[in-house]
A and B are shown apart, each in its own frame.
Chain A
Amino acid sequence: MKILTVCGMGFGTSLMLKMFIQDLLKELNIKADTDVSDLGSVRGSQADLIVAPSDMKTHLVDLSIPVIFIENLIDKREIRSKVAPVLKQLHETAGGA
């Protein structure tokens, strides 16, 4: 399983989101790869789930990969409540792999 976080340049906000998600994965005891991307390169990337700031909605709504949009990037509760259920679900459908 691979989770991709996105921001404009691919090393500021996306890296912060990636670190939150790594904490979350540890907490849920799920193993997954996490990586960062800039907005321009998302379309060429492989992932099972994308997490992005909500102000990028217009650029990412038509992707075939599920995308979670985060409104408040510093609100860990929002990130947890939106991302955790999807992580658990992906983890189960992948048969724990």
Chain B
Amino acid sequence: MLDFIVAVLSNPAVIVGLVAMVGLIALRKSFSDTLKGTLKTTLGFLILSGGAGIIVGALIPFSTLFQQAFHLTGVVAEDNALVAAVGKFLGRETALIMVFAFIINLVLARLTPFKYVFLTGHMMWSFAGTMAIALDQMGMKGWPLILTGAVIEGVSMVAFPAISQSTVRRVTNSDEVAFGFWGSSWITLAGWVGKPFGNPKKSTEDVKVPAGLDFFRDMAVFMGLVMVIIYVVTAVAAGPAAGAKVAGGQNYLFFAVLQALTFVAGVLVLLQGVRMFLAEIIPAFRGIAEKLVPGARPALDVPIFYPYAPVAVTIGFIAALVGSLLATVLTRYIAPVVVLPSVIGMFFMGAAAGVFGNALGGRRAAVVAGFFLGLTWPLLVAYSYPLVDFTKYGVQGLAFASPDAMIVLILMRLVGKVFGV
């Protein structure tokens, strides 16, 4: 009986449901709201795991083809998919790290001058997963793993917003919100790299951008196109013989198109799960934070910066995409793995680099910032990839994507080296 209870309470979907329930009860929500919130959180988590399964399934034939075509490993950097895919092994640890990290964040915001409350939910979750994976690989287990991961994440949740805050003030002309996104350090750096190239008086916002150019805002469409191109190019390079073997009797090019779209469908399912999983937990976290740490700055997701310079969003994204295409070619020659162009990563981070660059040094700085981000980010992905062995979890073709989390991961492995782990 005890074993059964432990098994139920170790299930990550149950843990996140319970967390939402406790949060909603603490906020004195009605019975029906609490029931609804608990169920939706649990369902969201199950949907998210389903999406990860679809993504992993669509990446396996791709990885095989890529290997045969180029004799190299190709990876897609996507944290949510990676953490969800590893959920079978470390789901309980991930969910608990997320909860305790939030508590540590609140304690730090309450007791130290770092008054930041990190509220970007999918990032809290993916960072927790990154910690679980990193510590598992360093030989930790159970509660020591959970608590170590939670402390590192909790500290990161106030440290990274603090690093970018002075730059955020220059972008938003206010001090009310902070940057709660695990690309904040790299985006801020990109902005400062762009600064000397430009003149802040020559803003991107005076540039006329053709109206049709922002079609990439519809993520599903744009990602669909890019993934089809990547899959078909790989299939063609692998040739009909290798293609037919993987496709199992189907026309191999049609198979490649279908698998590319299946990958995108998996991402959409995953995101729907993330949406349901967070829709209840984050308002509950926010309610608790407002009660316990009144007046703290909420650290929020990256799109809050886009309206400050919508043209810079487009310019930064395009510059980042150009940079990342170059970097894909570059990683082919110098890095341990080939990092495939990431639509989601380049859009969200490239756009913000454009906005930050523009605020610091005008339009030329926006271009340089976006390009710098696109060029350097895949290198960070490629060089942190060998720090973790994903085959242990039956995952191939995925890599970590968040710069801040990768920086922490690299530091952890370095510290581990010193202590011989």
**B307 with A15: CB separation less than 8 A:** no
**A40 with B221: CB separation less than 8 A:** yes
Which bracket fits the contact residues of B? 35 or more
Is the C-beta of B218 less than 8 angstroms from some C-beta in chain A? Answer: yes
**How many angstroms between the C-alpha atoms of A74 and B177 in the bound complex?**
7
Contact flags B368-406 to A (C-beta < 8 A → 1, else 0): 000000000000000000000000000000000000000
Which bracket fits the contact residues of A? 20 to 34
Is the C-beta of A46 less than 8 angstroms from some C-beta in chain B? Answer: no
Residue on B nearest A12 in the bound complex, by CB? B301
Residues of B289-326 at the interface with A, using a CB-CB cut-off of 8 Å, are: 300-304, 306-307, 310, 313
**A56 with B283: CB separation less than 8 A:** no
**A11 with B122: CB separation less than 8 A:** yes
A11, A36, A56 — most chain B CB neighbours (10 Å) = A11
Residue on A nearest B176 in the bound complex, by CB? A74
Is the C-beta of B174 less than 8 angstroms from some C-beta in chain A? Answer: yes
**How many angstroms between the C-alpha atoms of A7 and B303 in the bound complex?**
8
Residues of B16-74 at the interface with A, using a CB-CB cut-off of 8 Å, are: none
**Chain A: minimal CB distance from B107 (Å):** 23
**Chain A: minimal CB distance from B207 (Å):** 15
Residues of A54-80 at the interface with B, using a CB-CB cut-off of 8 Å, are: 54-56, 58-59, 70-74
**A11 with B219: CB separation less than 8 A:** no
**B279 with A15: CB separation less than 8 A:** yes
**Chain A: minimal CB distance from B227 (Å):** 15
With a CB–CB cut-off of 8 A, which chain A residues contact B286? 19
Within 8 Å by CB of B219, from A35, A39, A73, lies: A39
Residue numbers of A with Cβ under 8 A of B are 7-13, 15-16, 18-19, 22, 35-36, 38-40, 53-56, 58-59, 70-74
